[in-house]
Structure formats: structure tokens, C-alpha cells
Homo-oligomer: A and B are copies of this chain.
Amino acid sequence: MIHPTPPGTRDVLPEEMRELRALTDRLRSAFEVAGFGEVWTPALEYEEVLQTGDERAAGAPYRLFDEHGEVLALRSDMTIPIARVVATRYGEAQPPFRLCYFAHAYREARGAGVQREFLQGGIELIGVPGPAGEAEVVALVIAALADAGLDRHRVGIGDGSLYRTLLRQHDVAEEDQHAMLEALSRRDLVELARMVDRLGLPELLMRLPELRGGPEVLERADHKVGTLRELHGLLEARGVADRVIYDLGLVRELGYYTGAVFEVYDPAVGFALGGGGRYDELIGRFGQRALPACGIALDVQRVHIAQMAEERLR
């Protein structure tokens, strides 16, 4: 008799669970000491609410009907539910709001070994605009991961609107924009080059994604990366600038990002540990008050794998 769990889900036995608890305790403690209070939201939301946040956030993932025929869906991240919480429960309160979470999210990704139920731990900083907010979020995640025993981790920083703006400026058709951003998010530079060539676009659109490295990248970019330069200054002041990689081809799949985007790496493992960015328009979709916001979510099980990989390298 074999009784499997659904694809992309798994059981966690005590030995691993103890390590995951220790890791989440470290991260939570770092977040709370910095003033980020933990919240919980239901695993199930009305699909309409998730779609208010981002059309692609709902839809394909796990959906079901409640007894009134309303469509419910398992959350695919915590950023949209927290935007709902801020708009509905903190509507009258004075920002900024500093919130954190540790909760499972659900995505219907395909492929062997791809997780569909994953434990996210993250922070949301709501009401602090521009580079000041981004610097606080990036520096806190770097510090929290250091507390958790990582010491080789890096945060990639890009501008989520930069490439999109360029494509619009060159009157690239909606459909082609989508295909190019998709190729970019997969880091498929061959496909990207093919499209730049076919559409007769300037070489800059090919060069930009190759600009990846230290602050010199920001100097070399002949386009408007002024806010990233400002962010770099703030990260220097916080003493974490050496942990950052600027990456002008970085784009994130979720559509609600409006500015800086982040990706967390560790050279000990070959996958991103998490990501996030600035989403200044999301809170306003749930209420009468628009609030600038940014955040980062970590995949706790991936951070755990990086933790173990770093230990082996020591």
C-alpha cells in the first residue's frame, strides 16, 4: 500500500522540523527586534480578493467553491493578503507599518521536485517610500540571514520598471513585451537577443541584462538608475553595500512591483532563496488610501538548504 502526498508537497520529520523551527525562530526574532510584528492571514481567501492584488496571483492555483458558490483560493503569497489587512484593519492608523509573517503559500508550479506548498518568511514595510524603505528592507533581510548562520548570502537589486519602460518607449507591441519580459525572467538571453534583433530594437536592450555586479554597474548604465544610486548610498551607510549585486536585467514574475526588485542568493546553492520589491500601488487597490510599500519573502526550506550547504563548506 502506497499513500503518497500530492505532487510538490512533502512530510517533514522531527529532525528536519527542529532545524526549520530553529531557523524560523532566528528569522522571526530578527524581524521582531527590528519592529516588524508578525501577522497571520487565512490560507484560503476569496479569489476575487487575490485577483484584486494581482490577476496572475490567483487563477491557476488551488481553487474551490464554498457552500454559497463563491470561489476560494489558497494564497500564493502573503504580500496580497497583508495588503488587504493593512487596507481593512489599519485604515485609520498612522503609517509606517512594519509587519512580518511565517506561513505556507501555494503555487501550481510543474516539474519534478518543484515545491507547490512552501513555507515563506518575510517582511513588509508599508508607508516608507523610495530608497529609504528599500534600504531598510534589504539591510534587515541581510542581517536576519546572518543571524541564521548564513555568511555568504547576497541580495540582487534591479529596477522592475526599467526594462518595461524601455520596451514601451520603443513602441514594442504588448505581446512582444510580454514575451521579452518572460525570456528575461528566465534569463534566456539567447531568446532575448533573437527578439531584439527581429524587432530591430537598440542594442541597449541586449546590453542592459548583462549589467550585473557592484556599484560600477550603476555608473555604466547610461539610463536613469538614479534611485538605485541613492539606494546604494543608503546601503553603504547601513554597512551592507558589499552584500549587494546590482542586476539591471532583474525582473520578477508578479505584476504588482512598481520599482526596485530584489532577489536573495547564496553562492553555496544554485537557486534563489527569496525575493521581493517595491509595490506602491497594491495597498490602494484594497482601500481608499494608497501607501508606498516594499518587502521581501524568503523560502524558509531553501534558506535551510543554504544553511546546510554553507556548513559543509566551512
Contacts and interface: CB of A to CB of B under 8 A. Distances in A.
A84 B42 contact: no
Contacts of A88: 2-3
Interface in A3-55: 3-7, 9-15, 17-18, 20-21, 28, 32, 37-46, 49, 52
Contact of A41 (B4, B11, B43, B74): B11
A87 interface: yes
B18 A38 contact: yes
A19 B32 CA distance: 13
Given A84-B3, A287-B1, A9 B39 contact: no
Interface in A38-87: 38-46, 49, 52, 62-64, 66-67, 70, 72, 74, 81, 84-85, 87
A104 interface: yes
Given A6-B45, A6-B66, A17 B1 contact: no
A9 B15 CA distance: 31
Contacts of A43: 43, 74, 104, 106, 117
Contacts of A5: 41-42, 45-46
Contacts of A85: 11, 13
A20 B40 CA distance: 10
Given A4-B46, A6-B44, A43-B106, 20 more contacts: A1-B87, A1-B288, A3-B49, A5-B41, A5-B42, A6-B46, A7-B66, A9-B44, A11-B89, A12-B40, A13-B85, A14-B37, A14-B39, A14-B99, A20-B40, A21-B28, A21-B38, A42-B117, A44-B106, A44-B117
